[in-house]
Amino acid sequence: MHVSTTVAKWRERRRLAAGRTIGFVPTMGALHRGHGSLIDRCREENEIVVASLFVNPTQFNDPKDLERYPRTLDADLAMLEELGTDEVFAPAASELYPNGYEFNVEFRSLADTMEGAHRPGLFQGVTTVVLKLLNLIQPDRAYFGEKDYQQLKIIEAMAADFFLPTTIIPCPTIREMSGLAQSSRNALLSHAARDRAASLYRALRDAPNPESARAELESEGFDVDYVEEHWGRRLAAITIENVRLIDNVPLTNCASHASLP
């Protein structure tokens, strides 16, 4: 496994990979089984597997959230090597933003609700860094988890609108035995809070409608930002122990929709 920490070094590595299929898994580190499933899928479908490790400052509207985001570089590199990753791109912010934050991607829709409404600037930061990474890595395929479903839909739309040659591959959410979606933010929770947080998945799955799911979550003491239905999914965001968690389930998996064809 080769690790590039600068754009110049990565470009050298990219030239060596010319003519082979490249799969790309962008991450912000603090890797878990969910990331591992993306790497495994990428390994199956491409000759070269590339992963990035970069905590993107432009998608955090709260500086405290950026400061406390878990950073586990050594463990992440060990996990990527064990999974058979060929190339890792782990730049400093100054490498990806050499002119500061002078330019960013703007768009008119898709980001006005849910995460976009509650985290101003999130999707501008996400789409900007993803566009930079896709331009640098030049992958045939890029893999994104369905847990961040709104983000996935926005990245798919951006890639299509900018005529990017990369195919965006959605991958299923990986869950703990309790049902809690695997997330880097879970590491910030106490064991008791992780057990309680599994109620998010159960409420989304079992409630007859979004209003009932929200009421159930609030009755259990969670701060609820939203429970909404879009793209054939029921999506929600809650806060527990000052940690914000998101999740979603297909409507076909919800109790109220289980009988639908």
Return the active site residues.
35
Q: Are 238 and 225 in contact (CB under 8 A)?
A: yes
- Distance from C-alpha of 143 to C-alpha of 65, rounded to nearest angstrom: 25
- Selection from 89, 96, 110, 229 nearest residue 160 by Cα: 110
Both structure tokens of 142 = 């890029």
User: How far lies 11's CA from each of 16, 54, 142, 165, in Å?
Assistant: 9, 17, 18, 18
Taking the C-alpha atoms of residue 220 and residue 218, their distance in angstroms, rounded to an integer, is 5
Helices then strands (H, E): number in the chain? 11, 9
Contact 204, 249 (CB under 8 A): yes
